[in-house]
Structure 1
Amino acid sequence: MTDYYQQQYEVPTAGTRNPDDLTSPLYGATFGQALRRFFASYLTSAGRASRSEFWWVALAAAGVSAVGIVLIAIGNAITGDDGSGAAMFPTIIGVVVLLVSGFVFGLGSICLTIRRLHDINASGWWYLPIFLLGPIPLVGFLVYIAIIVIGVLPSNPSGIRFDARS
């Protein structure tokens, strides 16, 4: 079956990748390239995303979330039990950072995960059970493991069938 897709679609060599070409994955993307490509194809589920694109965005999302959590912790440490006055400012900023980052990275990460599924030659519809089962206690833990597995699986050349065609 792999030969069929390789014959039907030309598989480009790794050296011909252009970071500005959003129609195909960028293998070995840098942090900046991955974030630019993430926001440039924010709500696009067509195409594929490489492992480096997936993990650099996950690192950025984790970093922004960590900043929000640290701000909340600082605010809670300053306010103590009284919870009043200007000491609440870091907590409020931390909550805002978490809400905004959750919205910004959350929506785009759904499409990024679908593009990552395409790169491992799986249908984007596999994200639906992940989305539906994630909020269920205990099962949600398995969903996180599934997302990690999706992120570490190597690219499959047959996934080229998901690339956008002109």
Structure 2
Amino acid sequence: MHWMILPLKRYFDFSGRSRRMEYWMFILFTTLVGAVLAGPVVLDIVAASMADPLSVEADPLAGMGTFGAIGISLYGLFFLAILIPSIAVTVRRLHDRDMSGWWYLGFIVASFIPLLGLIASIAFIVVMFLPGTEGANRFGLDPKDPHGAEVFE
């Protein structure tokens, strides 16, 4: 649980480095919370489609009741709350690979180009899975070994 909420503790911290564990546990945390918050919306839409299937085909959100509206509101608030920490942990993860945080903007812009977007998205996921540089780099000390193993050499 520590790794899941660590990016929330480092809310506006765009400097330094973040390990793969921190990044992927935060992604898991946000996915799980998002699924729980989207649950009421899905249940409300399914209930509306069972009651009147023809109205849901025209506008899926038309039959949504208060339960679904509260779910959408909570999901929107959650998205706004994690937007900055998500960007920050991604930038720090790129720093761990000894890449500038501006690469993130490049991946986002490239994702809007039809075929290049697919390739850029796959490349971004691969970069996030790769291990960080060993030892200190231009963005800080190694988060796996912050004291430096080269002291004993």
TM range (shorter): 0.7 to 0.9
1:138 Cα deviation after fit: 4.8
- Residues 94, 131 of structure 1: alpha-carbon distance in 2 compared, 3 angstrom cutoff: same
Identity of aligned residues (%): 30
Q: Mean Cα displacement is larger for which, 108-117 or 69-78?
A: 69-78
Does residue 39 of structure 1 match 2:8? yes
Aligned to 2:102: 125
Alpha-carbon distance in 2 for matches of 1:133, 1:117: 17
TM-score by length of 1: 0.67
8 Å Cα contact 2:5-2:26 kept in structure 1: no
Q: CA offsets, 1:127-153, max 9 Å, x none?
A: 121232334455443343233112210
Alpha-carbon distance in 2 for matches of 1:33, 1:126: 27
Q: Gaps spanning 5+ residues in structure 2: where?
A: 56-61, 142-153
- Residues 144, 61 of structure 1: alpha-carbon distance in 2 compared, 3 angstrom cutoff: farther
8 Å Cα contact 1:46-1:115 kept in structure 2: yes
AA at the equivalent of 2:23 = F
Computed over aligned residues only, the root mean square deviation of the Cα atoms, in angstroms, reads: 2.3
The SS at the match of 2:138 is helix
TM-score by length of 2: 0.72
The SS at the match of 2:94 is helix
The SS at the match of 1:154 is coil
Aligned to 1:144: 121
AA at the equivalent of 1:57 = F
Q: Mean Cα displacement is larger for which, 114-123 or 91-100?
A: 91-100
Equivalent residue pairs, number: 131
AA at the equivalent of 2:80 = F
Show the 5 A alignment for 1:55-74. 55-74=24-43
Alpha-carbon distance in 1 for matches of 2:24, 2:31: 10
Show the 5 A alignment for 1:79-90. 79-80=48-49, 81=52, 83=62, 88-90=65-67
